[in-house]
Amino acid sequence: MQRWRGLADLPGGWGRCVATIGVFDGVHRGHQELISRAVELATERDLPSVVVTFDPHPAEVVRPGSHPAQLTTLRRKAELVEELGVDVFCVLPFTQELSKVAPDAFVHEVLVERLHAAAVVVGENFTFGSRAAGNVALLTSLGHRFGFTTEGAKLVTAGELAFSSTYIRSCIDAGDVRAAATALGRPHRLEGIVVRGDGRGHELGFPTANLSTPRFAAVPADGVYACKFTLLNGHKRPPLTAATSVGTNPTFSGRERRVEAFVLDVDEDFYGQRVAIDFVERLRAMEKFPSTEALVEEMHRDVARTRDLLDRPTEPDHRPT
Protein backbone atom coordinates (compact mmCIF):
# COMPACT_ATOMS: atom_id res chain seq x y z
CA MET A 1 0.00 0.00 0.00
CA GLN A 2 1.27 3.47 -0.89
CA ARG A 3 1.17 6.08 1.87
CA TRP A 4 0.86 9.74 0.90
CA ARG A 5 1.17 12.76 3.18
CA GLY A 6 -0.87 15.32 1.30
CA LEU A 7 -1.46 15.39 -2.43
CA ALA A 8 2.07 16.50 -3.28
CA ASP A 9 3.02 12.81 -3.12
CA LEU A 10 0.62 11.97 -5.93
CA PRO A 11 2.69 10.29 -8.66
CA GLY A 12 2.93 11.63 -12.19
CA GLY A 13 0.59 10.06 -14.69
CA TRP A 14 -2.01 9.30 -12.02
CA GLY A 15 -5.22 8.02 -13.63
CA ARG A 16 -8.66 7.53 -12.16
CA CYS A 17 -9.48 5.86 -8.84
CA VAL A 18 -12.20 4.93 -6.38
CA ALA A 19 -11.97 7.05 -3.24
CA THR A 20 -13.49 6.95 0.22
CA ILE A 21 -13.17 9.84 2.68
CA GLY A 22 -13.40 10.10 6.46
CA VAL A 23 -11.58 10.42 9.74
CA PHE A 24 -11.96 6.64 10.24
CA ASP A 25 -10.85 6.76 13.88
CA GLY A 26 -10.82 3.18 15.14
CA VAL A 27 -11.41 1.67 11.68
CA HIS A 28 -14.40 -0.01 13.33
CA ARG A 29 -16.86 -2.47 11.74
CA GLY A 30 -18.77 0.31 10.01
CA HIS A 31 -15.58 1.78 8.56
CA GLN A 32 -14.46 -1.69 7.51
CA GLU A 33 -17.62 -2.28 5.47
CA LEU A 34 -17.34 1.16 3.88
CA ILE A 35 -13.69 0.76 2.94
CA SER A 36 -14.25 -2.81 1.75
CA ARG A 37 -17.01 -1.57 -0.54
CA ALA A 38 -14.62 0.99 -2.04
CA VAL A 39 -12.02 -1.76 -2.60
CA GLU A 40 -14.68 -3.99 -4.18
CA LEU A 41 -15.82 -1.21 -6.52
CA ALA A 42 -12.23 -0.40 -7.46
CA THR A 43 -11.60 -4.06 -8.29
CA GLU A 44 -14.71 -4.18 -10.46
CA ARG A 45 -13.53 -1.12 -12.40
CA ASP A 46 -9.86 -2.16 -12.44
CA LEU A 47 -8.87 1.05 -10.65
CA PRO A 48 -6.80 1.76 -7.53
CA SER A 49 -8.63 2.34 -4.25
CA VAL A 50 -7.74 5.41 -2.17
CA VAL A 51 -8.59 6.11 1.47
CA VAL A 52 -8.50 9.85 2.21
CA THR A 53 -8.24 10.77 5.88
CA PHE A 54 -7.14 13.76 7.95
CA ASP A 55 -4.51 14.63 10.54
CA PRO A 56 -4.88 16.16 13.06
CA HIS A 57 -8.51 15.43 13.90
CA PRO A 58 -10.66 18.17 12.31
CA ALA A 59 -12.39 18.88 15.65
CA GLU A 60 -9.09 20.02 17.19
CA VAL A 61 -8.53 22.53 14.39
CA VAL A 62 -12.08 23.89 14.24
CA ARG A 63 -12.56 23.97 18.04
CA PRO A 64 -9.13 23.86 19.76
CA GLY A 65 -9.25 21.81 22.94
CA SER A 66 -12.07 19.57 21.69
CA HIS A 67 -9.93 16.73 20.31
CA PRO A 68 -11.86 13.51 21.00
CA ALA A 69 -10.12 10.54 22.61
CA GLN A 70 -8.16 8.80 19.86
CA LEU A 71 -9.02 5.16 19.17
CA THR A 72 -6.14 4.55 16.75
CA THR A 73 -2.86 6.26 16.07
CA LEU A 74 -2.26 7.30 12.47
CA ARG A 75 0.25 4.45 12.11
CA ARG A 76 -2.25 1.90 13.40
CA LYS A 77 -5.00 3.32 11.18
CA ALA A 78 -2.78 2.80 8.14
CA GLU A 79 -2.04 -0.80 9.18
CA LEU A 80 -5.73 -1.61 9.58
CA VAL A 81 -6.63 0.02 6.27
CA GLU A 82 -3.89 -1.92 4.50
CA GLU A 83 -5.34 -5.18 5.84
CA LEU A 84 -8.56 -4.34 3.95
CA GLY A 85 -6.74 -4.35 0.61
CA VAL A 86 -6.53 -0.59 0.01
CA ASP A 87 -3.98 0.61 -2.57
CA VAL A 88 -3.34 4.15 -1.28
CA PHE A 89 -3.61 5.68 2.20
CA CYS A 90 -3.69 9.46 1.74
CA VAL A 91 -3.45 11.74 4.79
CA LEU A 92 -4.51 15.33 4.22
CA PRO A 93 -3.05 17.75 6.80
CA PHE A 94 -6.13 19.40 8.30
CA THR A 95 -5.48 23.12 8.67
CA GLN A 96 -7.51 26.25 9.31
CA GLU A 97 -7.28 26.95 5.58
CA LEU A 98 -8.69 23.53 4.68
CA SER A 99 -11.49 23.92 7.24
CA LYS A 100 -12.67 27.05 5.37
CA VAL A 101 -12.80 25.48 1.90
CA ALA A 102 -16.37 25.37 0.54
CA PRO A 103 -17.80 21.89 -0.16
CA ASP A 104 -17.87 22.30 -3.95
CA ALA A 105 -14.29 23.66 -3.97
CA PHE A 106 -13.09 20.72 -1.85
CA VAL A 107 -14.65 18.24 -4.27
CA HIS A 108 -13.23 20.00 -7.32
CA GLU A 109 -9.72 20.48 -5.92
CA VAL A 110 -9.25 17.14 -4.14
CA LEU A 111 -11.50 14.58 -5.80
CA VAL A 112 -11.59 15.90 -9.35
CA GLU A 113 -8.42 17.85 -10.12
CA ARG A 114 -6.00 15.77 -8.02
CA LEU A 115 -7.40 12.27 -7.45
CA HIS A 116 -9.47 12.02 -10.68
CA ALA A 117 -12.11 10.05 -8.80
CA ALA A 118 -14.38 7.84 -10.89
CA ALA A 119 -16.40 6.83 -7.82
CA VAL A 120 -16.64 7.99 -4.21
CA VAL A 121 -17.92 5.85 -1.33
CA VAL A 122 -18.86 7.53 1.97
CA GLY A 123 -21.10 6.89 4.97
CA GLU A 124 -24.70 8.04 4.76
CA ASN A 125 -23.99 10.61 7.52
CA PHE A 126 -20.88 11.99 5.80
CA THR A 127 -20.37 15.78 5.88
CA PHE A 128 -17.59 17.86 4.36
CA GLY A 129 -16.41 21.35 3.55
CA SER A 130 -16.62 24.60 5.50
CA ARG A 131 -19.00 24.33 8.47
CA ALA A 132 -19.70 20.71 7.40
CA ALA A 133 -22.16 22.16 4.89
CA GLY A 134 -21.71 19.35 2.37
CA ASN A 135 -23.56 16.04 2.62
CA VAL A 136 -24.18 12.93 0.51
CA ALA A 137 -26.90 14.63 -1.51
CA LEU A 138 -24.56 17.48 -2.46
CA LEU A 139 -21.71 15.06 -3.19
CA THR A 140 -24.03 13.11 -5.49
CA SER A 141 -25.04 16.28 -7.30
CA LEU A 142 -21.41 17.37 -7.70
CA GLY A 143 -20.58 13.90 -8.96
CA HIS A 144 -23.12 14.30 -11.76
CA ARG A 145 -21.47 17.59 -12.69
CA PHE A 146 -17.87 16.40 -12.50
CA GLY A 147 -18.24 12.84 -13.75
CA PHE A 148 -18.03 10.51 -10.75
CA THR A 149 -20.56 8.27 -9.02
CA THR A 150 -21.40 8.49 -5.33
CA GLU A 151 -22.43 5.77 -2.90
CA GLY A 152 -23.71 6.62 0.57
CA ALA A 153 -23.32 3.43 2.64
CA LYS A 154 -25.70 2.68 5.50
CA LEU A 155 -24.38 2.55 9.05
CA VAL A 156 -23.54 -0.86 10.51
CA THR A 157 -25.87 -1.72 13.38
CA ALA A 158 -26.57 -4.38 15.99
CA GLY A 159 -30.27 -4.19 16.75
CA GLU A 160 -31.02 -0.50 17.14
CA LEU A 161 -27.42 0.34 17.98
CA ALA A 162 -25.32 2.00 15.26
CA PHE A 163 -21.59 1.46 15.60
CA SER A 164 -19.68 4.72 15.61
CA SER A 165 -16.40 6.11 16.94
CA THR A 166 -18.37 8.17 19.47
CA TYR A 167 -20.16 5.08 20.79
CA ILE A 168 -16.87 3.16 21.07
CA ARG A 169 -15.23 6.01 22.97
CA SER A 170 -18.12 5.98 25.46
CA CYS A 171 -17.68 2.21 25.96
CA ILE A 172 -13.95 2.61 26.61
CA ASP A 173 -14.52 5.55 28.93
CA ALA A 174 -16.90 3.35 30.94
CA GLY A 175 -14.45 0.42 30.98
CA ASP A 176 -16.71 -1.78 28.85
CA VAL A 177 -13.94 -3.05 26.63
CA ARG A 178 -15.99 -6.07 25.53
CA ALA A 179 -18.67 -3.84 23.99
CA ALA A 180 -15.93 -1.73 22.39
CA ALA A 181 -14.38 -4.87 20.89
CA THR A 182 -17.73 -5.90 19.44
CA ALA A 183 -18.04 -2.59 17.60
CA LEU A 184 -14.38 -2.48 16.58
CA GLY A 185 -14.23 -6.08 15.43
CA ARG A 186 -11.15 -6.58 17.66
CA PRO A 187 -10.02 -5.52 21.16
CA HIS A 188 -9.27 -1.86 21.78
CA ARG A 189 -5.52 -1.23 21.59
CA LEU A 190 -3.19 1.23 23.30
CA GLU A 191 0.28 1.70 21.86
CA GLY A 192 3.25 3.44 23.41
CA ILE A 193 6.77 3.26 24.76
CA VAL A 194 7.59 1.40 27.98
CA VAL A 195 9.08 3.87 30.48
CA ARG A 196 10.57 3.58 33.94
CA GLY A 197 8.11 3.50 36.84
CA ASP A 198 8.68 3.82 40.58
CA GLY A 199 9.57 0.12 40.94
CA ARG A 200 6.76 -0.61 43.41
CA GLY A 201 5.38 -3.47 41.29
CA HIS A 202 8.74 -5.20 41.37
CA GLU A 203 8.86 -4.84 45.16
CA LEU A 204 5.44 -6.52 45.40
CA GLY A 205 6.45 -9.39 43.12
CA PHE A 206 4.55 -8.05 40.10
CA PRO A 207 7.03 -6.08 37.95
CA THR A 208 5.14 -4.01 35.43
CA ALA A 209 5.77 -2.43 32.05
CA ASN A 210 4.66 1.21 32.36
CA LEU A 211 3.20 2.51 29.12
CA SER A 212 3.68 6.10 27.97
CA THR A 213 0.65 6.71 25.75
CA PRO A 214 0.04 9.34 23.04
CA ARG A 215 -1.50 12.61 24.21
CA PHE A 216 -5.08 11.99 23.07
CA ALA A 217 -5.16 8.18 23.47
CA ALA A 218 -8.48 6.63 24.53
CA VAL A 219 -7.43 5.10 27.85
CA PRO A 220 -10.04 2.81 29.46
CA ALA A 221 -11.67 3.65 32.78
CA ASP A 222 -9.64 3.01 35.92
CA GLY A 223 -9.52 -0.66 36.77
CA VAL A 224 -7.71 -3.94 36.13
CA TYR A 225 -7.98 -5.67 32.76
CA ALA A 226 -7.05 -8.97 31.13
CA CYS A 227 -4.95 -8.01 28.10
CA LYS A 228 -2.69 -9.17 25.33
CA PHE A 229 0.75 -7.54 25.20
CA THR A 230 2.58 -7.29 21.87
CA LEU A 231 6.08 -6.08 21.07
CA LEU A 232 6.10 -3.84 18.00
CA ASN A 233 8.93 -2.46 15.82
CA GLY A 234 9.30 -5.58 13.72
CA HIS A 235 9.24 -8.16 16.53
CA LYS A 236 7.76 -11.49 15.37
CA ARG A 237 7.05 -12.71 18.89
CA PRO A 238 3.49 -13.95 19.57
CA PRO A 239 1.35 -11.78 21.87
CA LEU A 240 1.94 -12.29 25.58
CA THR A 241 -0.68 -12.36 28.32
CA ALA A 242 -0.85 -9.48 30.81
CA ALA A 243 -2.91 -8.25 33.74
CA THR A 244 -3.03 -4.49 33.27
CA SER A 245 -3.80 -1.80 35.82
CA VAL A 246 -5.16 1.60 34.78
CA GLY A 247 -5.36 4.31 37.41
CA THR A 248 -3.58 6.20 40.16
CA ASN A 249 -2.73 3.31 42.53
CA PRO A 250 -4.89 4.59 45.43
CA THR A 251 -3.53 2.07 47.97
CA PHE A 252 -0.28 4.05 47.86
CA SER A 253 -2.01 7.46 47.51
CA GLY A 254 -0.87 7.80 43.91
CA ARG A 255 -1.83 10.86 41.89
CA GLU A 256 -0.47 10.16 38.42
CA ARG A 257 -2.76 8.09 36.19
CA ARG A 258 -0.80 5.19 34.72
CA VAL A 259 -1.17 2.16 32.47
CA GLU A 260 0.90 -0.68 33.96
CA ALA A 261 1.03 -4.19 32.46
CA PHE A 262 2.21 -7.21 34.44
CA VAL A 263 3.26 -9.64 31.71
CA LEU A 264 2.70 -13.21 32.85
CA ASP A 265 5.43 -15.86 32.80
CA VAL A 266 8.09 -13.52 31.39
CA ASP A 267 11.09 -12.24 33.31
CA GLU A 268 12.11 -9.42 31.01
CA ASP A 269 12.73 -5.68 31.03
CA PHE A 270 10.73 -4.06 28.23
CA TYR A 271 12.07 -0.57 28.94
CA GLY A 272 12.34 1.59 25.82
CA GLN A 273 10.39 -0.77 23.57
CA ARG A 274 7.28 0.20 21.62
CA VAL A 275 4.45 -2.11 22.58
CA ALA A 276 0.72 -2.61 22.14
CA ILE A 277 -1.78 -3.55 24.84
CA ASP A 278 -5.08 -5.06 23.66
CA PHE A 279 -7.85 -4.81 26.28
CA VAL A 280 -9.89 -8.02 26.32
CA GLU A 281 -11.89 -7.94 29.56
CA ARG A 282 -12.31 -5.73 32.61
CA LEU A 283 -11.65 -7.71 35.79
CA ARG A 284 -12.55 -5.13 38.42
CA ALA A 285 -12.64 -1.47 39.31
CA MET A 286 -9.65 0.27 40.88
CA GLU A 287 -9.77 -0.05 44.68
CA LYS A 288 -7.94 1.26 47.73
CA PHE A 289 -6.93 -1.72 49.86
CA PRO A 290 -6.45 -1.56 53.66
CA SER A 291 -2.96 -3.05 53.45
CA THR A 292 -0.22 -4.04 51.04
CA GLU A 293 -0.93 -7.69 51.87
CA ALA A 294 -4.59 -7.33 50.85
CA LEU A 295 -3.52 -5.70 47.58
CA VAL A 296 -1.07 -8.50 46.80
CA GLU A 297 -3.75 -11.14 47.48
CA GLU A 298 -6.08 -9.38 45.05
CA MET A 299 -3.32 -9.10 42.44
CA HIS A 300 -2.84 -12.88 42.62
CA ARG A 301 -6.57 -13.25 41.94
CA ASP A 302 -6.29 -10.81 39.02
CA VAL A 303 -3.54 -12.92 37.48
CA ALA A 304 -5.53 -16.14 37.95
CA ARG A 305 -8.61 -14.61 36.31
CA THR A 306 -6.49 -13.29 33.44
CA ARG A 307 -5.10 -16.79 32.83
CA ASP A 308 -8.60 -18.26 32.92
CA LEU A 309 -10.00 -15.71 30.50
CA LEU A 310 -7.19 -15.67 27.96
CA ASP A 311 -6.22 -19.33 28.01
CA ARG A 312 -9.67 -20.45 26.88
CA PRO A 313 -11.43 -19.56 23.60
CA THR A 314 -14.18 -16.97 23.95
CA GLU A 315 -17.12 -16.19 21.73
CA PRO A 316 -17.43 -12.56 20.58
CA ASP A 317 -20.02 -10.55 22.43
CA HIS A 318 -22.63 -9.44 19.89
CA ARG A 319 -25.18 -8.18 22.37
CA PRO A 320 -26.43 -4.61 21.93
CA THR A 321 -25.57 -2.46 24.94
Average pLDDT of every residue of the chain: 90
DSSP symbol at 256:
S
Q: What is the mean pLDDT of residues 241-252?
A: 81
Higher pLDDT, 320 or 242: 242
Report how many helices (DSSP H) and strands (DSSP E) the chain contains, helices first.
10, 14
C-alpha pair distances (Å), 160 with each of 24, 153, 155, 180, 321: 21, 17, 11, 16, 10
Neighbours of 320 (CB within 10 A): 10
Which strand ranges, in their side-by-side order, compose the sheet holding 49-55?
A: 2-5, 88-93, 49-55, 17-21, 117-123, 149-153
Neighbours of 301 (CB within 10 A): 13
| pLDDT greater than 50 at residue 319 | no
Q: Give the model's confidence band at 204: pLDDT under 50 very low, under 70 low, under 90 confident, else very high.
A: low
d(CA 104, CA 163): 29
The pTM (predicted TM-score) of the whole model is 0.90
DSSP track, 107-151 = IIIIIIIIT-EEEEEEETT--BSGGG-B-HHHHHHHHHHHT-EEE
Least confident of 57-61, 120-124, 302-306, 317-321: 317-321
Q: What is the mean pLDDT of residues 187-212?
A: 81
Q: What is the mean pLDDT of residues 291-300?
A: 87
- In tens, the pLDDT along 2-32 reads 999 999 878 888 999 999 999 999 999 999 9
Q: State the DSSP H helix or E strand holding residue 41, giving kind and residue range, or none if neither.
A: helix 29-45
